[in-house]
Amino acid sequence: MANFVLRSAGPKDVSDILRLIKELAKFEEMEEKVMLTEKDLLEDGFGDHPFYHCLVAEVPQDQSSEGFSVIGFAMYYFTYDPWIGKLLYLEDFYVMQEFRGLGIGSQILKVLSEIAVKTRCSSMHFIVAENNKQSIEFYKRRGAAHLSSEEGWRLFEIQKEGLLKMTAK
CB count, 10 Å around CB of 155?
Answer: 6
Q: Is 139 labeled as catalytic in the residue annotation?
A: yes
Catalytic pick from 76, 89, 94, 139? 139
DSSP code string of the chain: ----EEEE--GGGHHHHHHHHHHHHHHTT-GGG----HHHHHHHHHSSS-S-EEEEEE--GGG-TTS-SEEEEEEEEEEEETTTEEEEEEEEEEE-GGGTTSSHHHHHHHHHHHHHHHTT-SEEEE---TT-HHHHHHHHTTT---HHHHT--------HHHHHHHHT-
38: CB partners within 8 A, 6+ apart: 14, 15, 18
Contact (Cβ atoms closer than 8 angstroms) between residue 6 and residue 57: yes
What is the set of active-site residues? Answer: 139
